[in-house]
Amino acid sequence: MDEVALLEALLRIPSLSGQEGAAAAFLVEQMRSFGWEAFVDGAGNAVGLLGTDGPLVVLLGHIDTVPGAIPVRIVDGKLYGRGAVDAKGPFASFIAAARRAELAGRLRCRLALIGATEEEAASSRGAHYARERYAPAFCVIGEPSGWDRVTLGYKGRLLVHYRIEQAAAHSAGELPAAPEAMVAFWRAVEQRCTSYNAGHERLFDQLIPSLRRVASGGDGLGDWAEATIGLRLPEGVDPARLAGELRGLAGPASLRFEGGCPAFRSPRTTPLAAAFVRAIRGQGGQPAFLHKTGTADMNVVGPAWGCPIVAYGPGDSRLDHTPDEHLELAEYQRAIAVLTEVLAGFG
């Protein structure tokens, strides 16, 4: 199976978070066909191992996607499909680059390729499982950066699930209705973020709220309202401490927290970052470094492994989760070439 066919076949396999089994089995079969040791691990990750000498390098991508079926097709050199950018495309480029380096006799490291589960579900189940089982010298996270750019950091995250229940309130009465209480909480969260952001001009340094879901109802005797709020955390904001502050703003409502993780940033002066700079220049590109306002599995494994780490992969991250998600095949091939050079430079 050639490199484009590999990705196209992977895109045709639905793999919502928590439902990655068929995609993992497909990837294991493909990696075994190369003669690699390959298996599905205890978290459902698709794992491939190869190489016998040199430092251990973990290539950690995720194979789950958000909902939304996009017909898989190639049009004008663009491959469409859910996950083409986020993040089956980057993981397929890992496999293709490892295979190119191996066939050329240029692999200078031991590789663990991990197609991780549940990254999109905020649980990052696959990355947490891998974190306890590997101790790499270097790590590359599979996320879209563009073929000529390298991501060094991601913001942290905290999801807040709000619920208030109370006796039914008459619209002409003094008691605020449950939806009004929820709106007051949301405004208090916005104000908390606005206060923090005073003097912080870069998005990477700001505390950014988003209202993800709102619902309300009642039965004539009681009213309720719910909301899910997402918070993107800058460096220095601890998720647990912020959760405590939010409880103080919630009044009689209940709060449940999910997916809390701090921001993480890797320095640009590591040997790994330098290897990507050389490889991108070797392909005629002008390398640049990114700091993303989203969150990725780098936040999970980066602090634990303490090794040089970057995120890299083909694709425009502005297409993540959109109905127009697609990957330029020329960019996919250039990213594979960059990764091949990086893998050949270890040892």
The CA angle 33-35-36, to the nearest 5 degrees, is 105
Cα–Cα dist 87/63, whole Å:
6
State the DSSP string of 82-122. Answer: TTTTTTHHHHHHHHHHHHHHHHTT---SEEEEEEES-STTS
Backbone angles phi, psi at 262, to 5 degrees: -80, 165
Angle at 336 between CA 99 and CA 105, to 5 degrees: 35
Q: What is the DSSP string of 167-195?
A: E---TTSSSPPHHHHHHHHHHHHHHHHHH
State the Cα–Cα distance between residues 227 and 205, nearest whole angstrom: 25
Region at 65 (left for phi over 0; alpha for psi -120 to 50; beta for the rest): beta
Catalytic residue among 3, 20, 64, 120: 64
User: What does R_g of the chain's alpha carbons equal in angstroms?
Assistant: 22
Specify whether 316 is catalytic. Answer: no
* Dist. CA 345–CA 151, nearest whole Å: 19
Which one is catalytic: 119, 143, 148, 223? Answer: 119
Q: CA 78, CA 326: separation in Å to the nearest integer?
A: 6
The helix (H) or strand (E) run that includes residue 284 is none
Q: How far is residue 122's CA from residue 184's CA, in Å, rounded to a whole number?
A: 26
Annotation says 119 is catalytic? yes
Take residue 200 and report the two structure tokens written for it: 């912080």
Catalytic positions, written as ranges: 64, 119
